Amino acid sequence: MSETTQKSKLIYAELKCGSTYKYVWLGNDNFAKLFESWDYESNEGKFEGMLDFDHTISYFFDREDLKRSEDLIGESVEEMEGGEVVDFEMEDIDWNIFEHKNYVIDIFPVTPDTAWLEYEKTDDISVLSGEEIGRFGYRVYDQEQNLVYEDLCNMGDKGACLENAKNEIRVLIEEAGNES
């Protein structure tokens, strides 16, 4: 029986001394797997943004360190008087990293072209040539973290990116099979 996926959480903690800190509670989702494979220095490829994110976080809890969110109250990870957590809010970390058939898909927002914005206003597809930058793009990485495909064109949502990336992975696998 497979283990239920536990989303990693961003925690905004208020301490007894009045200070606030950001923590992360690592689950067993794709973000946690990515974080665990990160070398704490890379900020490119599938790790783009990870270094900047890490610099905003005071502490990372593993799933084993913190079993229930309620256990956070009274926890003291800051070495200061009044460093105990007295209140907190949590939200899911939505990193938009997916694994599919031994490839990694990274979905990210992009600034759309003016033609794409016109299309969104009018729903008139004739204003598009097929090469416009939409709202989202994606990159596909192989197991060695090499970029093998990137697409920014004509995708208005994350779902379109994910489906297109899966199709591209299917083509990459078929092409690799034809080469052998």
| Each residue's pLDDT tens digit, 3-51 | 788 889 999 999 999 999 999 999 988 889 889 989 999 888 778 878 8
Smallest CA-to-CA distance from 131 within 106, 107, 114, 149 is with 114
Give 165's pLDDT tier (boundaries 50, 70, 90). very high
Q: Is the pTM of this model over 0.95?
A: no
Read off the pLDDT of residues 90-146 as tens digits, 9 standing for 90 and up. 988 888 878 889 898 988 888 999 999 999 999 999 999 989 999 999 999 988 878
Domain residue ranges in the chain: 9-92, 97-179
45 neighbors 140 (Cβ within 8 angstroms): no
Contact in structure between 128 and 153 (CB atoms under 8 Å):
no
